[in-house]
């Protein structure tokens, strides 16, 4: 079940949020260049994966994720490069395959993806898709994308793109494709989908007690077995910020988190932020905000509860100062990650470590991509 805490992975996630620099809001071009610098920093402090999301809103510059990852590939040499997430529903799977095959080749095999249906739906009207077909679009495109990754030649037809007749795409991905996770926000149907397709699970936990997802993790592990798949990694994505003290981290994060969540509450109709709810989220909820020791203890606890082999921190936030972002990244890699490994070695609990590249399984003694 475990192979040692050295195999527990730590990822850094960005949604391309624009930072401030000396009190000045960065331009879009400056924000893009900052992301490449932060990928380099993440590698230098020993983190395992740097991922960029896909959004189409003001103050976020991650709409062309493969381009950003290709630039990061040239600026780094070892760190994994991924997505958080790729909105597969509004992408063309053929073009997506070609883009990520290109990034994987440029990076020397360091690319991976998290595939999702989208919690933010701005891309649906932008690219001419009907949100009423949300589920059907994703299922069809996932089927095609996985076939393109797993098969040498593909003949296919569906409702949302022209048919393919004995197509072999170029450039080629490695045999079996690149690591691809299914991102979920809490739907049991999505958990079952990941298991059915033999894909690792990325749980986006952005509110409430993270431990409530333990049931999803256990459902996933049972479903993998029922579908005849080997055990695969489970990961968690959550928001946070790390500073020297709990007080500093919470004060700075609250200042920038509050306006973002206020806007989201107005757009989506959920609770407006209050100091009391914020304290609850940082104490026992899904915000990983505090000193290195506080954040490490919280990650270790949720790793045990949710059967994790990887934890990803969404570190950026609209107009957060770039020096605050830098410090948080440094503390995450240099202080939090080693401390989590110490805590898990001392008390492993139910956490799971595969020691394999995400989305790999073992068949006949040979590791292959799931």
Q: What is the pLDDT of residues 287-340, one digit of tens each?
A: 999 999 999 999 999 999 999 999 999 999 999 999 999 999 999 999 999 999
The beta-carbon contacts of 130-139 under 8 Å, at least 24 apart in sequence, are 134/89, 137/89, 137/90, 138/88, 138/89, 139/193
d(CA 312, CA 181): 13
pLDDT of 93 reads 97
pLDDT band at 166 (very low <50, low <70, confident <90, very high): very high
Give me the CATH number covering residue 138: 3.20.20.30
Mean pLDDT of 52-81: 97
pLDDT of 267 reads 81
pLDDT of 4 reads 58
With pLDDT > 70 as the criterion, what percentage of the chain qualifies?
A: 93
Ramachandran bin of 7, using left for φ above 0, alpha for ψ from -120 to 50, beta for the remaining angles = alpha
Residue pair 252/243 in contact (Cβ under 8 Å)? The answer is yes
Domain that holds residue 48: 5-369
Ramachandran bin of 277, using left for φ above 0, alpha for ψ from -120 to 50, beta for the remaining angles = alpha
How many structural domains compose the chain?
1
Q: Identify the helix (H) or strand (E) that includes residue 275.
A: helix 275-283
82 CB neighbour count, 10 Å cutoff:
29
State both tokens at 312: 């990803």
d(CA 251, CA 115): 33
What SS3 state is found at 251?
Answer: helix
- Whether the pLDDT of residue 234 is over 70: the answer is yes
pLDDT of 272 reads 85
Contacts for 118 with CB less than 8 Å, ≥ 6 apart: 85, 87, 89, 90, 124
pLDDT band at 212 (very low <50, low <70, confident <90, very high): very high
**ω before 41 within 30° of 0 (cis)?**
no
pLDDT of 271 reads 76
Residue pair 301/286 in contact (Cβ under 8 Å)? The answer is no
Mean pLDDT of 74-88: 97
Query: Lowest-pLDDT range, 27-31, 246-250, 364-368?
Result: 364-368
pLDDT of 48 reads 98
pLDDT band at 103 (very low <50, low <70, confident <90, very high): very high
**ω before 248 within 30° of 0 (cis)?**
no
Residue pair 237/84 in contact (Cβ under 8 Å)? The answer is yes
Mean pLDDT of the chain: 92
């Amino acid at each position: 079940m475990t192979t040692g805490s050295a195999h527990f992975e730590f990822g850094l996630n960005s949604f391309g949020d624009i930072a401030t620099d000396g009190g000045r809001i960065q331009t879009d071009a400056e924000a893009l260049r900052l992301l490449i610098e932060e990928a380099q920093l993440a590698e230098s402090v020993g983190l395992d994966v740097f991922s960029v999301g896909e959004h189409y809103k003001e103050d976020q510059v991650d709409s062309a994720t493969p381009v950003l990852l290709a630039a990061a590939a040239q600026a780094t040499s070892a760190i994994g490069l991924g997505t958080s997430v790729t909105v597969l529903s509004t992408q063309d799977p053929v073009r997506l395959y070609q883009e990520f095959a290109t990034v994987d080749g440029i990076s020397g095999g360091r690319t991976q993806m998290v595939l999702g249906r989208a919690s933010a739906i701005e891309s649906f009207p932008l690219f001419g898709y009907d949100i009423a077909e949300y589920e059907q679009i994703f299922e069809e495109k996932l089927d095609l994308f996985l076939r393109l990754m797993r098969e040498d030649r593909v003949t296919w037809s569906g409702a949302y793109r022209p048919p393919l007749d004995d197509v072999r795409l170029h450039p080629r991905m490695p045999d079996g494709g690149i690591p691809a996770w299914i991102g979920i926000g809490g739907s049991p149907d999505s958990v079952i989908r990941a298991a059915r397709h033999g894909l690792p699970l990325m749980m986006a936990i952005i509110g409430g007690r993270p431990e409530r997802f333990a049931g999803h993790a256990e459902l996933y592990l049972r479903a993998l077995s029922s579908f005849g798949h080997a055990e695969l990694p489970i990961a968690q994505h959550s928001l946070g910020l790390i500073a020297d003290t709990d007080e500093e981290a919470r004060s700075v994060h609250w200042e920038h988190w509050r306006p973002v969540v206020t806007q989201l509450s107005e757009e989506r109709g959920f609770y407006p932020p209050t100091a009391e709810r914020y304290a609850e989220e940082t104490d026992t909820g899904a915000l990983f905000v505090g000193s290195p020791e506080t954040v490490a203890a919280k990650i270790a606890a949720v790793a045990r509860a949710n059967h994790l082999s990887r934890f990803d921190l969404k570190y950026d936030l609209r107009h957060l100062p770039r020096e605050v972002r830098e410090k948080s990244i440094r503390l995450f890699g240099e202080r939090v990650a080693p401390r989590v490994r110490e805590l898990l070695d001392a008390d492993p609990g139910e956490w799971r470590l595969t020691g394999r590249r995400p989305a790999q399984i073992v068949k006949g003694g040979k590791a292959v991509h799931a």
